[in-house]
């Protein structure tokens, strides 16, 4: 490097000397020529000045680029016909939309492409999209199964007793959670069985009434090809609670983050302490799966995320109580300990990050539900307690995720029994006034649903350690019910993907 630089410097010096010598020789000749030229130029100026002032001549010669006015006919086609990639992208987008059963939109994308009608391949694509649409039949929105998961465990840390995982947490993780490996196997099996993810919103057609209420009717136009069946999915408690441990202590992700492309990923601390960004929970794993299997999502549908507020959301401590600091009277001992361990905590920064994640999730098709602020048992709580809880939820969660009309009851504890919410149900009337129309509990009865004029209710099947283990193990509580649920979901050979580090003693129990 240095040698080259020195060599170049010497060459430049020699060149400069040569130039100087030549310049001296030329100088004398130039002076004579210049004198003669000056006389000539003065004469020429008198003759040519009017033409130069008129703007012709030299300016045009020096600028060979045609002006738009001079050559607009040549410029237009190069701008208006997007060759190559644009056409490829149009075709790819149309195929993706058609794969996700959005046939009309797929055709519209092609028809918006200039010159499509003389393009044999594009015309053929429209014909095959229309044929695929014609082959679809309406699907009933009654009896649609709704499965739910919690945050996923990435390795065995949460499933076995260790220095970083208490016995109590080991029990809870074994019971209520799935690992990333189990989740991947399960969604593949449901996909293979023909299931297609729909949104809770796809169940109904909503009509706003003059009084601000909403009338719900069953969606009559959910159409799918033969062999495809609708499925609803949700993820509960996506807060990365303090109880899940820090820095991957139990194998959970630390928080949701955005990658360089603006996609929602997880930050995860690996066993060796390495901090990584990638597919370490349901959101990014499912996104990757849908990118590879677009027909798993009906018109871009994604699951619903059920959020409490007491520890904030997505791993960000957005509950305003944290502003009180480590001695805060509204904080529990675990929250106070968190603040003592993290003097760098900044409420406004966490809120800003959480808002970005919520916006990105919404852009990707995810929806949100209240899971109550305090993970409250809505059946046992009084109306006044639920009202106070919901006011807290709006502050800690609602202001970041925006409006939602969905509530997914914590513990699956619904505010009413089977038979629909009644006019004298004060809790229902309160939630309805607060804008909730879609209610979900937990119910082992496959595809349990109820429709009313102002609500739809769905019963959810927990996919977790207890139900997996009991479904595959004879003589366990509710074995037959869980076995049937899993079979109907296309989830067979559970033993083939059931995490080997699970402790069956914890999974065996009823809840």
Residues forming the site for Zn ion (CB under 5 A): 236-237, 410
Distance of CA 119 to the CA centre of its chain: 35
Nearer to Zn ion, 304 or 473 (CB): 304
Q: Say how far apart CA 451 and CA 461 lie, in whole Å.
A: 18
| Measured CA distances, 329 to 264, 325, 335, 345 (Å) | 34, 9, 11, 18
Nearer to Zn ion, 224 or 410 (CB): 410
Rg of the Cα trace of the chain? 34
Nearer to Zn ion, 219 or 372 (CB): 372
Q: Say how far apart CA 287 and CA 278 lie, in whole Å.
A: 11
Compute the least distance from the CB of residue 240 to Zn ion, in Å: 13
Nearer to Zn ion, 109 or 401 (CB): 401
Nearer to Zn ion, 200 or 410 (CB): 410
Compute the least distance from the CB of residue 121 to Zn ion, in Å: 50
Compute the least distance from the CB of residue 260 to Zn ion, in Å: 32
Residue 439 bridge partners (DSSP): 407, 457
First CA to last CA across the chain, in angstroms?
Answer: 70
Residues for the chain: how many in total?
511
Compute the least distance from the CB of residue 407 to Zn ion, in Å: 12
Q: What share of the chain is helix, strand, coil (3-state, %, to 5)?
A: 50, 15, 35
Compute the least distance from the CB of residue 509 to Zn ion, in Å: 18
Task: Report which DSSP code applies to 183.
Answer: H
Q: Say how far apart CA 131 and CA 129 lie, in whole Å.
A: 5
Compute the least distance from the CB of residue 444 to Zn ion, in Å: 17
CA-nearest of 75, 83, 86 to 110 is 86
| Measured CA distances, 360 to 37, 148, 353 (Å) | 71, 21, 11
Q: How many CB atoms lie within 10 A of CB 26?
A: 11
Burial call 139-158: b when 16+ CB within 10 Å, e when fewer: bebeebbbbbbbbbbbbbbb
Nearer to Zn ion, 158 or 230 (CB): 158
Compute the least distance from the CB of residue 236 to Zn ion, in Å: 4
Instruction: Indicate the SS3 state at residue 414.
Output: coil
Q: Say how far apart CA 352 and CA 473 lie, in whole Å.
A: 46
Nearer to Zn ion, 78 or 511 (CB): 511
Compute the least distance from the CB of residue 237 to Zn ion, in Å: 4
Nearer to Zn ion, 178 or 204 (CB): 178
């Amino acid at each position: 490097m240095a040698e080259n630089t020195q060599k170049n410097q010497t060459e430049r010096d020699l060149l400069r000397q040569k130039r100087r010598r030549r310049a001296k020789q030329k100088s004398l000749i130039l002076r004579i020529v210049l004198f003669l030229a000056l006389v000539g130029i003065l004469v020429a100026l008198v003759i040519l000045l009017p033409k130069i002032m008129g703007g012709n001549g030299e300016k045009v010669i020096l600028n060979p680029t045609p002006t738009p006015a001079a050559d607009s006919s040549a410029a237009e086609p190069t701008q208006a016909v997007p060759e190559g990639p644009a056409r490829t992208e149009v075709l790819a987008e149309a195929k993706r939309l058609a794969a996700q059963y959005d046939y009309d939109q797929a055709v519209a994308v092609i028809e918006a492409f200039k010159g499509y009608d003389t393009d044999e391949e594009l015309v053929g694509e429209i014909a095959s999209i229309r044929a695929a649409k014609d082959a679809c039949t309406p699907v009933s929105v009654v009896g649609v199964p709704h499965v739910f998961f919690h945050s996923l465990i990435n390795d065995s840390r949460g499933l076995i007793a260790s220095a970083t995982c208490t016995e109590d947490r080991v029990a809870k993780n074994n019971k209520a959670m799935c690992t990333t490996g189990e989740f991947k196997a399960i969604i593949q099996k449901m996909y293979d069985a023909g299931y297609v993810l729909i949104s809770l919103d796809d169940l109904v057609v909503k009509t706003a009434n003059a009084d601000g209420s909403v009338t719900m009717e069953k969606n009559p136009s959910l159409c799918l090809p033969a062999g495809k069946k609708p499925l609803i999915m949700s993820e509960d408690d996506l807060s990365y609670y303090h109880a899940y441990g820090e820095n991957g202590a139990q194998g959970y992700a630390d928080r949701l983050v955005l990658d360089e492309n603006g996609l929602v990923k997880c930050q995860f601390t690996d066993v060796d302490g390495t901090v990584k960004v990638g597919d370490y929970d349901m959101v990014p794993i499912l996104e990757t799966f849908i990118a590879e299997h677009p027909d798993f999502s009906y018109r871009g549908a994604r699951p619903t995320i059920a959020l409490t507020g007491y520890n904030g959301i997505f791993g960000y401590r957005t509950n305003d109580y944290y502003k009180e600091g480590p001695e805060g009277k509204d904080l529990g001992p675990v929250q106070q300990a968190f603040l003592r361990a993290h003097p760098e905590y900044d409420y406004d920064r966490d809120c800003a990050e959480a808002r970005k994640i919520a916006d990105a999730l919404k852009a990707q098709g995810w929806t949100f539900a209240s899971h109550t602020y305090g993970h409250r048992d809505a059946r046992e709580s009084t109306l006044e307690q639920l009202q106070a809880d919901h006011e807290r939820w709006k502050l800690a969660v609602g202001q970041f995720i925006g409006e939602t009309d969905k509530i997914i009851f914590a513990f699956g504890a619904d505010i009413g029994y089977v038979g629909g919410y009644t006019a004298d149900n004060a809790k229902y009337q309160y939630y309805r006034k607060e804008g909730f129309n879609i209610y979900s509990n937990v119910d082992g009865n496959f595809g349990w649903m109820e429709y009313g004029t102002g609500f739809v209710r769905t019963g959810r099947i927990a996919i977790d350690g207890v139900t997996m283990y009991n479904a595959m193990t004879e003589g366990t509580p509710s074995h037959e019910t869980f076995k049937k649920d899993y079979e109907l979901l296309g989830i067979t050979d559970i033993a083939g993907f059931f995490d080997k580090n699970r402790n069956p003693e914890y999974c065996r129990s009823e809840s």
